[in-house]
Amino acid sequence: MIPAPFRYHRATSLEDALDALAEPDAKALAGGMSLLPLLKLRIGRPELVVDLGRLDLAGIERANGSLEIGALTTWDALSRAEELRGGGLDAIADCAAGIGDLQVRNRGTIGGGLAHADPAADLPAVAVALGLELVVRSANGERTIPACDFFQGPFATALSDGELVTAVRVSTPPTGSGSAYVKVEHPASGFALAGAAALVTPAGDVRIGITGVGGAPALVHGEDELVELEVYGDRFAGEEYRRHLARVVVRRALERARSRAERSSG
């Protein structure tokens, strides 16, 4: 299908991109794995598409005791990053390695995926479990949004008009922590029918992010809280079956996270 007409601007700098995104009804194009299908189906009809492909927003850096991941870092780069191996951060690499297919992982970006906020996407569960922070910029300045406050419903986020995710900030969990991400995926799309990211610390703290079962990722602190989880059903999986899948992936994620924590402590 052919998209509705729109103007196209290829940004030459972050400032150039932010100036363009300040226009009414402008959309940012990162890897395009989420936006382009919406344009082709005419679900999205922006007046202006701002291409971010030339911006220097990829890579992983250490800063002030945390990791900062550029918004244009691809899923493939995340899945191979040594900085995300061990140290309680394995859930990020788990998640990235299981997204889409080879083409999607080589083109899709972490910032674009988070900003799209698909309710069945993988990374939102990891983001809330690991307490990630999103760094966002606009022509008016910069602010940081905790992942737990960022996702507000299906395809809805705390981003204001003209704001752009520029980086994701990851605080290193305590030494001896372990994390993991597990999902049961739809066999055609690869999206999560239910997915869970778990983080366990030596002090016994547990954080579990759950995706695919509601309109936004949910954060719980133990299996006993799953009874309070809001779950929806659709033609792919009914409510009762999805609730069952949530229990399964949470249990598997916790087992894997605890195993990793034991290995790192030993």
Same structural domain, 112 and 157: yes
Question: Phi first, then psi: what are they for 72, rounded to 5°?
Answer: -95, 10
Q: Is residue 221 part of a domain?
A: yes
Same structural domain, 66 and 161: yes
Please check the confidence at residue 107 and state whether its pLDDT lies above 80: yes
Same structural domain, 203 and 144: no
Same structural domain, 165 and 212: no
We report the CATH number of the domain holding residue 195 as 3.30.390.50
Query: Which pLDDT score, from 0 to 100, does residue 133 have?
Result: 98
Share of the chain above pLDDT 90, in %: 85
Query: Which pLDDT score, from 0 to 100, does residue 266 have?
Result: 63
Same structural domain, 33 and 91: no
Tally of structural domains, the chain = 3
Same structural domain, 182 and 147: no
- pLDDT per residue over 115-142, tens digit each? 999 999 999 999 999 999 999 999 999 9
Same structural domain, 99 and 159: yes
Range of the domain at 90: 60-118+130-171
Q: Is residue 188 part of a domain?
A: yes
Residues in contact with 263: Cβ distance below 8 Å, sequence separation at least 6, in sequence order: 178
Same structural domain, 143 and 204: no
Measured at the CA of 62, the angle between CA 168 and CA 19, to 5 degrees, comes to 45
Bridge partners, 142 (sequence order): 137
Angle, helices 90-97 vs 239-265, to 10°: value is 130
Please check the confidence at residue 38 and state whether its pLDDT lies above 70: yes
Residues in contact with 132: Cβ distance below 8 Å, sequence separation at least 6, in sequence order: 126, 146, 147, 168, 169, 170
Average pLDDT, the chain: 94
Q: Is residue 25 part of a domain?
A: yes
Bridge partners, 256 (sequence order): none
Same structural domain, 140 and 241: no
Same structural domain, 42 and 93: no
Same structural domain, 38 and 141: no
- What amino acid is encoded at 52 in this protein? L
What gap in Å lies between CA 46 and CA 49, rounded to an integer? Answer: 7
Q: Is residue 1 part of a domain?
A: no
Same structural domain, 162 and 64: yes
Q: Is residue 149 part of a domain?
A: yes
Q: Is residue 161 part of a domain?
A: yes
We report the CATH number of the domain holding residue 139 as 3.30.465.10
Q: Is residue 124 part of a domain?
A: no
Question: Phi first, then psi: what are they for 42, rounded to 5°?
Answer: 60, 25
